[in-house]
Amino acid sequence: MQATPSLTPDSSDRPLVSIIIPHYNGIEVLSECLDSLKASTFERKEVIVVDNASEDGSADWIKEHHPEIRLIRNGTNEGYAGGCNRGAESARGEFLLFLNNDTVHDSGWLEPLVEALTNSPEIAAVQPKILNHFDRYLFDYAGACGGALDVLAFPFARGRLFLRQETDSGQYDDEASIFWASGTALMIRKNDFEAAGKFDETFFAHQEEIDLQWRLHLMGRDVKVVPSSVVYHKNAVTLPAQSIQKQYLNHRNSVLMLLSNYSLPLTVYLFPIRLALEVVASLYALVLLDYRHLLGIVKSMLWILLHPMVILRRRRLVKSVRKVRDRTVISRMYRGSIVLDYYLRGKRTYRDLSPSPS
């Protein structure tokens, strides 16, 4: 592990922010991200890059071209979850910022996020507005302007329902409470991150941030979006959107959350409904000859079936951190089914949904 201090002297009393970037291959992508961070006007920060055993010489390139950055070399690819956890273990900041390597940023993007956490002790985590890197008037798929979740554990966002992304016209520029802040750019208090059990490395990648923040809600904490902070994301650079692995992780991790984070009676009630929707999704993929999606779903359900002890371990963790009942957490969810509202009722934007999930 190469650990070179990168703290910039600063006489202000602002908290130190540890920016943690998990990385696997793609020097060009990372280079643009790091150059963008250098232009940030917020000085009280350290940058930690966790290299997940890149095969393109990324770690050596970072050491040579960015000696100011703290570099952690993992011996294997530990995914987003493991990479972020390794970075958090060595972070010195009061606030942690988990950041995708395929992002660029407005120069003043950090100040509003820090201010939101500093001024509101009940808030555990925040995210910026996330726009598409290539079309900067389009909300990005990964998080848009704040994440939502329906009761069956299907995620969506203000500005993005399934594959439909809205154009940003300022319609979501309020600092709203949300269910989850995107791991694309997630700022969280370090003590809340540790108290909630960090990222579950079983997830590897995709929705581990939703799972973490579900536990934060169970702890009685709040999550917000701060749209005055803006990040631009390239999306799906590391893992292509239609790959079997991505389909598998998205379905498996979503079902794993449902089986782990609710009380037992509610889990028993909701799981058969979610399972029925997985069957429908499989049949739909079969009709469309979308074999990647179909194989991803089948693989995810087989994993769930074969790993009951993982679910039990996770339920014990949830029990240990829970401070509020499910009804409190559900009040922050969308109480309908986003799948039925989108595909059967023709709801195509976040604002079309009724009742509002805000």
The pair of three-digit structure tokens given for residue 91, joined into one six-digit string: 């972070």
pLDDT tens-digit map of 247-289: 999 999 999 999 999 999 999 999 999 999 999 999 999 999 9
Give percent of the chain above pLDDT 70.
93
Q: What's the pLDDT score for residue 13? A: 84
- All domains of the chain in start order, with CATH: 17-233 (3.90.550.10), 244-324 (no CATH)
Average pLDDT over residues 6-12: 47
* Cα 256 to Cα 121, 202, 207, 208, 249, distances in angstroms: 30, 10, 10, 10, 10
Torsion over CA of 167, 186, 84 and 302, rounded to 10 degrees? -60
Q: State the DSSP code for 242.
A: T
Identify which of 137, 21, 134, 23 has the alpha carbon closest to the alpha carbon of residue 87.
21
| pLDDT higher than 60, residue 312 | yes
Q: How much is the pLDDT for 240?
A: 57
pLDDT value, residue 349? 95
262-272 pLDDT, tens digit each:
999 999 999 99
- pLDDT attached to residue 6: 44
> What average pLDDT does this structure show over 88-94?
97
Higher-confidence position of 237 and 97: 97
Does residue 355 have a cis bond before it (omega within 30 degrees)?
yes
What are the pLDDT digits (tens) for 13-35?
889 999 999 999 999 999 999 99
Band of residue 210 on the pLDDT scale cut at 50, 70, 90? very high
Tens digits of residue pLDDT in 109-133:
999 999 999 999 999 999 999 999 9
Task: Give the tokens for residue 81.
Answer: 């979850």
Tokens of residue 93, six digits? 């900041």
Check residue 238 and give its pLDDT.
56
Average pLDDT, the chain: 93
Neighbours of 327 (CB within 10 A): 9
CB neighbourhood size of 35 (10 A): 11
Question: Long-range contacts for 159-165 (Cβ within 8 Å, ≥24 apart)?
Answer: 159/350, 160/350, 161/338, 161/342, 161/347, 161/348, 161/349, 161/350, 162/338, 162/342, 164/348, 164/349, 165/132, 165/138, 165/139, 165/140, 165/141
* Mean pLDDT of the region 290-295: 94
Residue 331 has pLDDT above 90, yes or no: yes
More confident residue, 236 or 22: 22
What pLDDT band is residue 53 in, cutting at 50, 70 and 90? Answer: very high
Q: Which residue has the higher pLDDT, 11 or 318?
A: 318
Q: How many residues does the chain have?
A: 358
Q: Report, as an integer, the average pLDDT of 184-194.
A: 98
Question: What's residue 12's pLDDT?
Answer: 63
Ranking 214-228, 237-251, 274-288 by mean pLDDT, the lowest is: 237-251
Q: How far apart are CA 132 and CA 184, in angstroms?
A: 12
Q: Which of 78, 104, 63 is nearest to 23 (CA)?
A: 78
